[in-house]
Amino acid sequence: MKEENRFYERLAEKGISRRDFMKYCGVVTATMGLSSSFVPKVAEVFAAPKQRPPVVWLHFAECTGCTEGAIKSMYPWIDELVLEILDIEYHETIMAPSGRAAEDVLHRAVKKYNGKFICVVEGAVGTKYNGAYGKIAGRTFLQIARDVCPKALAVICLGTCSSYGGIQAAKPNQGGYKGVGDALGIKTVNIPGCPPNPINFVGTVVNFLLLGKLPALDELGRPLFAYGKSIHDQCPRRSHYENGEMVIEFGSKEAAMGYCLYQVGCKGPDTYNNCPTAKYNGGTNFPIQAGHPCIGCSEPNFWDTMTPFFRERG
C-alpha cells in the first residue's frame, strides 16, 4: 500500500492524476474484455511490481515496425513500460550497448532469468540452408531462437512475421521463412498485425502479470480478447454492407458517403482483429475509417491469400 501511495505521488508529480491513471487502466481492462471490477487490479499491476518482469526481445527477419508500433503505446506510456513496469533486458533497437557488450547482455539475461523471462519475438525465422540467410553475431536466427525461446516462461510473437512468417514467407520464400512456433515446433502467443496494435500486446502482458497466466487463445495462438471477432462483424460501415451500399471507386460520391469497401477489395470479413473498436494511436483511426480497405494484415499468409489488396473496377 505504501508502495502504491508512492506510485500515485510519482504520478502526481508528472501531472497525471489518480483519476487519469484509473482511466487508462480502464482502457486496458476493456480491451482485454475483463469486467470493470478488474480495473483496480490492473492498476496494481502497473503500480507496484516488486521485481519488474524480465523481457528478452529478439529481432529476426523484420522491419522493426512492430517496435515502432510498440513505442506508440499511450496506455501506459512507453517510458513507463521501459522504466517502471517491465525490465527490458535485451532489445537491439533501444539498448545502449552495441557489439560484444550487447551480446554479453543477452547471454547473461537468458542465464540469470532462465525459465523466468518473457521472450518477445519480432520477425520471421529462416529455415532453408540451416537458416543461413539471417545471422546475428555469427549465429543464425534459427540457432538463437532454438537457444533462447525454450528457456522463456512464455514466448510472445509480436507481429505477423514472428507469428506466421509474414512477408518473408510470401512466395517464393527463398529463405524458407516461418513463424517462430512453426520453425521451432513450440507453442507461442501470437499478436499478429503489420504492425499489431500495441494495446493488444500490453493487454496480453497485463493478463500475464495480473492472473499469472496467458490469455485464452484461438487455434492460431491469438488472444481471444483481441482477435475473437472479425473486422466485418465490428465494422462501423456494416449497415452499408447489409444495404448493398458499396464503394465501387475511390474518390467517388459513395466513398465520400462512407459506404462499404468490400467491392474495392476489403478483407474485413476474413480478418480477425479488434481494429474497429480499439483503433490505432490512442484510438485515433483505423484503415476502414480512413476509407482504405482492410488488407488482412493480421492473418497468416496474407501476402499470398489476401492479394490483390485492391480490387479493380469492372
Partner 1 sequence: MEDAVGVKIPDNARIIRNLLHGAQFQQDHIVHFYCLHALDWVDVVSALKADPKKTATLSDNVSNDSHGGVPYFKQVQQRIKTFVDSGQLGPFANGYWGSPAYKLPPEANLMAVAHYIEALRLQAKSMKMHAIFGAKNPHLQTLAVGGVTCVRDLTPDRIAQFLFLWKQTQDFVKNVYIPDLLAIASFYKEWGGIGGTKNFLAWGEMPLSDKEPDSLFLPRGVIMKRDLKGVKMADPEKITEHIARSWYKGKKARHPYQGVTDPYEGDPKYDAETRYSWLKAPRYEGEPCEVGPLARVLVAYARGSKEIQGLVNNALKTLNIPVSALFSTLGRTAARGLETVAIGDAMEGWVMELVGNLKNGNAKTYTPWKMPRSGKGCGLNDVPRGSLGHWIEIEEGKIDNYQYVVPSTWNLGPRCANGKRGPIEEALIDTPLQDPKRPVEILRTIHSFDPCIACGVHVIDPESNRVYEVKVL
Q: Which three cell numbers stand for residue 229?
A: 471477432
The count of chain residues that interact with partner 1, using the rule CB under 8 A, is 71
Other CB atoms within a 10 A radius of the CB of residue 8 amount to 15
Chain positions 50 to 69 lying near partner 1, rule: CB under 8 A, are 51-52, 54, 64-65, 68-69
From the CB of 242, what's the least distance to partner 1, in Å?
19
Cβ proximity to partner 1: between 105 and 154 the closer is 105
Q: Which stretch binds partner 1 (CB under 8 A): 24-32, 101-109, 161-169, 220-228?
A: 101-109
Mark 11-30 with x for binding to partner 1 (rule: CB under 8 A) and - for no binding. Answer: --xx----------------
Single out the residue of 29, 31, 73, 298 in contact with partner 1 (rule: CB under 8 A): 73
Other CB atoms within a 10 A radius of the CB of residue 103 amount to 16
Chain positions 216 to 275 lying near partner 1, rule: CB under 8 A, are 249-251, 255-256, 258
Of 257, 269, 256, 260, the C-alpha closest to 295 is 269
From the CB of 55, what's the least distance to partner 1, in Å?
8
For residues 186-221, b (16+ Cβ closer than 10 Å) or e, as one string? eebbbbbbbbbbbbbbbbbbbbbbbeeebbebeebb
Answer for the pair 55, 89: CB distance below 8 angstroms, yes or no.
yes
From the CB of 40, what's the least distance to partner 1, in Å?
23
Of 93, 106, 102, 10, the C-alpha closest to 54 is 106
Cβ proximity to partner 1: between 136 and 186 the closer is 136
From the CB of 280, what's the least distance to partner 1, in Å?
3
Please, where are the H alpha helices in the chain?
2-13, 18-31, 39-47, 65-70, 78-80, 99-112, 141-148, 160-164, 180-184, 198-211, 224-227, 231-234, 238-242, 253-256, 275-278, 302-305
Single out the residue of 16, 82, 217, 246 in contact with partner 1 (rule: CB under 8 A): 82
Answer for the pair 185, 150: CB distance below 8 angstroms, yes or no.
no
Single out the residue of 17, 243, 284, 305 in contact with partner 1 (rule: CB under 8 A): 284
Answer for the pair 12, 2: CB distance below 8 angstroms, yes or no.
no
Assess 94 for contact with partner 1 (CB under 8 A).
yes
Mark 115-144 with x for binding to partner 1 (rule: CB under 8 A) and - for no binding. Answer: --------------xx-xx--xx-------
Single out the residue of 104, 218, 233, 304 in contact with partner 1 (rule: CB under 8 A): 104
Assess 83 for contact with partner 1 (CB under 8 A).
yes
Q: Which three cell numbers stand for residue 142?
A: 534459427
What whole-number distance in Å separates Cα of residue 133 and Cα of residue 146?
16
- Helix (H, G, I), strand (E, B), or coil: what is residue 304? helix
What whole-number distance in Å separates Cα of residue 131 and Cα of residue 142?
6
Chain positions 33 to 52 lying near partner 1, rule: CB under 8 A, are 51-52
Mark 288-307 with x for binding to partner 1 (rule: CB under 8 A) and - for no binding. Answer: -xxxx--x-x----------
From the CB of 286, what's the least distance to partner 1, in Å?
6
Single out the residue of 192, 203, 276, 287 in contact with partner 1 (rule: CB under 8 A): 287
